[in-house]
Amino acid sequence: MSMAFLEVTNLCKSYGQAEILKQINISVDRGEILGLVGPTGSGKTTLLRLINLLEEPSSGSILLEGQRKSGRPEREKIAARRRMAMVFQKPVMFKSNVLENICFGLRARQLDQPEQRKEKAMQALQSVGLPGYESRDANTLSGGEMQRIALARAIILQPELLLLDEPTANLDPRSASAIDSILLGLAGGRTAMILATHNMMQCRRLADRVAVLVGGRITALGKSEDILGRAERSGISSPAIAGLEIPW
């Protein structure tokens, strides 16, 4: 039996008395997109932050290719993080131009020479539909443009695991569709993806499997057509998912 690229086992996270995540067990294979749906406050962002090793779980483990990465020394966590990239729900830009922002991760990981970085950045800008933006001050861009720059900043790293927290939340339908195409282009390759979203349509389009997170627990996990088909047959739409009205 082949080993999943990412395995999350019995993961719990509490802040003081508040239990945010309870006994989470999920896995993602290379080339697979796992959709993570659930209402606001269900713990999706916390789960992605834990997987990105930005926070330590209260208990449980995060494993990459069978090797435990949570609870390890910072040096090991940095090495593990360099195999991943995360796009935050509200991305922030460094006080610099777009090119510097996109190349930050490549520089931090000491990948490529400056000329190659620039070339890759241009390609990444092209793929997110923002060619010619390289000299723009990143902090003067609109929310949607920032979101696309954040995605470019992540995909330029060619991560083995891409964590996406509502990556199209601030985008118009056309831009969102372009982003979906980029993500589908990455799927099937070496990149495993977790896509946290409220948008069931997007989840259906992109995700191979779906995990439903409600109140910090995985309440359903399976193939997207099964899970989302059940929801649709029950007459549940995207706002209903966001509003806790999940009958599972």
Could you tell me if 34 and 222 are in contact, meaning their C-beta atoms sit under 8 angstroms apart?
no
Q: Does 72 bind another protein (CB under 8 A)?
A: no
Q: What are the structure tokens assigned to 57, written together?
A: 């779980």
| CB closer to another protein, 105 vs 214 | 105
CA 113 to CA 106: how far, in whole Å?
9
Count residues near another protein (CB under 8 A): 23
Closest CB to another protein among residues 193, 214: 193
Q: How far is the CB of 147 from another protein (least distance, A)?
A: 13
**Spatial distance between the Cα atoms of 21 and 12, rounded to a whole number of angstroms:** 5
DSSP string, 56-90: --SEEEEEETTEE-TTS-HHHHHHHHTTEEEE-SS
Residue 248 Cβ vs another protein, minimum distance, rounded to whole Å: 31
Smaller CB distance to another protein: residue 108 or 201?
108
Residues in CB range of 24: below 8 A, 6 or more apart: 8, 10, 11, 12, 47, 60, 213, 217, 218
CA distances to 126, 159, 182 from 156, rounded to whole Å, are 11, 8, 12
Window 88-147: residues binding another protein (CB under 8 A) = 88, 90-92, 94-96, 104-105, 108-109
Cβ proximity to another protein, 51 vs 227, nearer residue? 51
Would you count residue 167 as binding another protein (CB under 8 A)?
Answer: no
Q: Quote the least distance from Cβ 34 to another protein, whole Å.
A: 18
Q: Mapping DSSP to helix (H, G, I), strand (E, B) and coil, where does residue 36 land?
A: strand
Least gap, CB of 95 to another protein (angstroms): 5
Per CB under 8 A, residues contacting another protein are: 49, 52, 54, 74, 78, 81-82, 84-86, 88, 90-92, 94-96, 104-105, 108-109, 153, 157
